[in-house]
Amino acid sequence: GEDVEQSLFLSVREGDSSVINCTYTDSSSTYLYWYKQEPGAGLQLLTYIFSNMDMKQDQRLTVLLNKKDKHLSLRIADTQTGDSAIYFCATNYGATNKLIFGTGTLLAVQP
């Protein structure tokens, strides 16, 4: 079945770059997403990438996709304390566009 995996925790210093990694199993996924969840809040769509792209940049965010290895990453440049949150990657699955989410990576930014 479909599966999406992420590391559970990442700690960085303010101003450094953060790289959050994700692997998935469903090679038929056409869209891959990154969501951010702050404490007590819902999930906020950060960015997405089509499966025929290798990279997408959006201000401080860079998404890299390695389709061969089924590996997705999110790089946050100049990480700020406000970036502290849980980051989820997700892939769409099947004709109904159901999203399968990873376990989430807790990003802790140290001042």
Partner 1 sequence: DSGVTQTPKHLITATGQRVTLRCSPRSGDLSVYWYQQSLDQGLQFLIQYYNGEERAKGNILERFSAQQFPDLHSELNLSSLELGDSALYFCASSAANYGYTFGSGTRLTVV
Contact positions vs partner 1 (CB under 8 A): 30-31, 33, 35, 41-45, 48, 88, 92, 94, 96-104
Rounded to a whole number of angstroms, the minimum distance from the CB of residue 3 to partner 1 is: 11
Strand partners for 13: 110
3-state secondary structure at position 70: coil
CB of 80 to partner 1, least distance (A): 22
Rank residues 76 and 102 by Cβ distance to partner 1 and give the closer one: 102
Nearer to partner 1, 56 or 101 (CB): 101
- Which residues on neighbouring strands pair with residue 73, listed in sequence order? 21, 64
Smallest gap from Cβ 103 to partner 1, in A, equals 5
Backbone angles phi, psi at 77, to 5 degrees: -85, 150
Decide whether 43 or 65 has the Cβ nearer to partner 1.
Answer: 43
**Token output for 15:** 């101003």
Residue 106 beta carbon to partner 1: minimum distance, rounded to whole angstroms: 12
Close Cβ partners of 107 (under 8 Å, ≥ 6 residues apart): 10, 11, 12, 18, 20, 76, 79, 83, 84, 85, 86, 87
Rank residues 1 and 82 by Cβ distance to partner 1 and give the closer one: 1
